[in-house]
């Protein structure tokens, strides 16, 4: 097979060449402007900035298979590809466990006052009254959104001996049988949880799901964690929660002001960095210097294992296609 990998980052190159030594590997995007340079391509692997539409597909007469190194596939006209007999695969998920673990990293850092403790130790101060934490065991965790990431958070929470209330658009009986937890309406989750963590997609229905009215329903002294999408929270609601001492700690891996981001892995690309200045975004954020707020730079997805899963799935997709047993197919 004549395989072409587009948009290849430095961390991907060697692994791909090791498995596919004869493949053509390039950092450039596949576009209508350069498609004629790749007319022999039978298999194309790309990322989200390659727009593989009808015009591009028609310029690749040998193309039989597309595999995107992303979960989203809106950049590919899978319907038209299907009419040409071209199959398309994606990476269904790569960071569920990674994001869930980062969620607990934020949670523990807040509840055990890790940063205050480290900074205090550096001054050789061993006064403990200001760095007294709280246990997770026995606390109620409110999980808003029980998709793949939310389910991993649930699993970890039960390991800590936490009680769990979950809000989700549907209820999974099998999940209820596997773990001891309760489904509840959103207001009940807000008002009865010691810690609330958000794991919803961002859309018109979930925008500002934590708003100025909702924050007043939170349990006094509670914690709020967001590793999902910044737009789920109205930043002003956090300020109100802190001022009224409703919130005792806030952990944010995402900010309301971030541009819409459909694929976290895009943050590792130069194209993304050209379009958004995260450094200034975080520096200028109203909550950046608040002692009860911990902000990380949208890094929950970023682990060696998550990146490895992207490559392993892509490699497996191509190998399975070559064996006439294609996997992770999307579209018609």
Is the backbone of residue 208 left (phi > 0), alpha (psi -120 to 50) or beta? left
- β partners of residue 182: 165
Among 69, 229, 256, 263, which one carries the catalytic annotation? 229
Q: Which residue in 69, 199, 298, 309 is the catalytic one?
A: 298
Residues in the chain: 332
DSSP code, position 168:
-
For the range 109-115, what are the long-range contacts, defined as Cβ-Cβ under 8 Å and sequence gap of 24 or more?
A: 109/251, 109/294, 110/223, 110/225, 110/248, 110/249, 110/250, 110/251, 110/292, 110/294, 111/135, 111/136, 111/195, 111/223, 111/249, 115/294
In the annotation, is 93 catalytic?
Answer: no
Alpha-carbon distance of 68 to 328, in angstroms, equals 10
Task: Kindly name the residue from 42, 101, 236, 258 that is annotated as catalytic.
Answer: 258
- Residue 222: CA atoms inside 13 Å, Cβ hemisphere, count? 24
Answer yes or no: 112 catalytic: no
**Six token digits for residue 249:** 């700690």
Q: How many whole angstroms separate alpha carbon 54 and alpha carbon 45?
A: 17
298 catalytically annotated: yes
> Could you list the active site residues?
229, 258, 298
């Amino acid at each position: 097979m004549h395989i072409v990998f587009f948009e290849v980052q430095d961390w991907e190159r060697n692994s791909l060449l090791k498995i596919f030594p004869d493949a053509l590997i390039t950092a450039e995007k596949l576009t209508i402007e350069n498609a004629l340079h790749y007319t022999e391509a039978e298999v194309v692997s790309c990322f989200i900035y390659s727009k593989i539409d009808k015009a591009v597909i028609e310029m690749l007469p040998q193309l039989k298979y597309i595999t995107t190194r992303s979960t989203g596939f809106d950049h590919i006209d899978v319907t038209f590809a299907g009419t040409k007999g071209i199959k398309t695969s994606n990476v269904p998920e790569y960071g569920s466990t990674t994001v869930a673990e980062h969620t607990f990293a934020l949670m523990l850092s807040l509840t055990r006052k890790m940063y205050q403790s480290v900074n205090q130790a550096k001054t050789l101060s061993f006064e403990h009254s200001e760095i007294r934490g709280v246990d997770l065991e026995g606390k109620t965790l409110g999980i808003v959104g029980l998709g793949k990431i939310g389910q991993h958070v649930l699993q970890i929470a039960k390991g800590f001996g936490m009680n769990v209330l979950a809000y989700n658009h549907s209820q999974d009986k099998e999940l209820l049988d596997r773990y001891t937890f309760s489904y509840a309406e959103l207001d009940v989750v807000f008002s009865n949880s010691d810690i609330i963590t958000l794991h919803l997609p961002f859309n018109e229905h979930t925008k500002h799901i934590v708003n100025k009215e909702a924050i007043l329903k939170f349990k006094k002294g509670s914690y709020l964690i967001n590793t999902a999408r910044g737009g789920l929270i109205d930043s002003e609601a956090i300020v109100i929660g802190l001022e009224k001492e409703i919130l005792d700690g806030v952990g944010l891996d995402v900010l309301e002001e971030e541009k819409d981001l459909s694929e976290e892995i895009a943050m590792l690309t130069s194209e993304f960095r050209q379009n958004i200045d995260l450094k200034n975004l975080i520096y200028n954020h109203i909550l950046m210097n608040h002692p009860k707020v911990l902000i990380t730079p949208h890094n929950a997805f970023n682990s060696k294992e998550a990146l490895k899963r992207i490559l392993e799935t892509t490699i497996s997709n191509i190998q399975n296609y070559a064996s006439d047993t294609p996997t992770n197919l999307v579209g018609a």
